[in-house]
Amino acid sequence: MKSKGNMKTTSKGKSEKRVFHNNDECPIRNVVAQIGDKWSVLILFVLIEGPDRFNSLKSRVVGISQRMLTQTLRDLEREGYVNRTVYPEVPVKVEYELTSMGRDLIKPLYQLVSWAETHHDEIKRSRKAYDERS
Amino acid sequence: MKSKGNMKTTSKGKSEKRVFHNNDECPIRNVVAQIGDKWSVLILFVLIEGPDRFNSLKSRVVGISQRMLTQTLRDLEREGYVNRTVYPEVPVKVEYELTSMGRDLIKPLYQLVSWAETHHDEIKRSRKAYDERS
DNA sequence: CGGAATCCGCCGCGATACTG
DNA sequence: CAGTATCGCGGCGGATTCCG
């Protein structure tokens, strides 16, 4: 990890305890804060398979409301992960697709997904054990 | 990606549109929901450098309140990412450290961090451009 | 079809005060 | 030192209604 502005050491010669700040200048928090919401990762993984339209997305991300789909897509677009294209037909057709940065984000995200699937049971067991202790 | 229960296709012969559910059975949402909060990743990255005590963590995760540090540590412990050890001295000493699963989680998380640092500027530019358009 | 606008409940999170 | 308890706000996110 490169030592950016938001991660400093208490430099007294030998680098010691690194300090972390939670603000807009923290790259990891910037990304995690965006994809950490309720729907972003699911939408991203749906869009891996190719461009898709609003209502199709709505049916593939089960349980999402119109409001949250719109809002999450806007956020992803603002971050630069998703492109929005309007085809002025009647009725209107709108397609969403991953940008190159969006497709690039998928790679580390996919690592996390694989990890999550591998450890899913272990996590569930840990939760159960924790809850039974208390 | 293995086809688990929460990701299905509308199987009509050739696998087509995958569907995603947001529930407890979705491994990725399980993990992202936990580390996606405001403080978890920062605490995890502090603990990479070795076991640490409560008040030391508090000063290294700048801006976190006692309440959120306690709560986030409890959550991470419940998931199985963090171990909590109490040393019955006077005054009490409590150490937190990553479990083997916690250290393992760091790997994919670190990929994400690297990605975040690499694309931080691009994201900031995308936001700026988006905001100026509207 | 693909939204925008409004209303509102819940809870994540911070601030503060107290405790073994 | 390492917490717990209580209060309160802001914002996420759901339900509903209206629009080009």
- List all nucleotides in chain D with at least one atom under 7 A from a protein Cβ: 1-6, 12-17, 20
User: From the Cβ of B54, is strand D under 7 Å away?
Assistant: yes
Mean pLDDT of B48-53: 97
pLDDT digits (tens, 9 = 90+) for A2-58: 444 466 655 444 557 899 999 988 888 888 999 999 999 999 999 999 999 999 999
Topology of the domain comprising A22-133: Arc Repressor Mutant, subunit A (1.10.10)
Q: Using a CB-CB distance cutoff of 8 angstroms, which residues of chain B are in contact with residue A126? A: 78-80, 101
- Residue B124 has which token pair? 């900031």
Q: What's residue B49's pLDDT?
A: 96
Give the per-residue pLDDT at B8: 60
Question: Higher-confidence residue: A134 or A125?
Answer: A125
Phi, psi angle pair for A81, to nearest 5°: -90, -25
Residue pLDDT, tens place only, B81-125: 999 999 999 899 999 999 999 999 999 999 999 999 999 999 999
CB contact under 8 A, A113 and B1: yes
In this complex, do A116 and B33 lie within 8 Å of one another by their Cβ atoms? no
Cβ of B49 within 8 Å of Cβ of A101? The answer is: no
- Given a contact cutoff of 8 angstroms between Cβ atoms, the answer to whether B85 and B50 are in contact is no
- What lies within 8 Å, CB to CB, of A68 at 6+ separation is A38, A39
**β-pair partners for A8:** A19
Nucleotides of C under 7 A from a protein CB: 1-6, 12-17, 20
pLDDT of residue B1: 45
Contact (Cβ atoms closer than 8 angstroms) between residue A30 and residue A24: yes
Q: What is the pTM of this model?
A: 0.91
* Predicted pLDDT at B90: 87
- Angle formed by the axes of helices A40-47 and A100-133, nearest 10°: 130
Q: What are phi and psi of A10, to 5 degrees?
A: -85, 45
The domain ranges of chain A are 22-133
**A61 membership: H or E segment, kind and range:** strand A61-62
Q: Which amino acid is at B107?
A: K
Chain A and chain B share a number of CB contacts under 8 A equal to 194
* Residue A4 Cα distances to A28, B16, B34, B37, B117, angstroms: 11, 43, 25, 22, 9
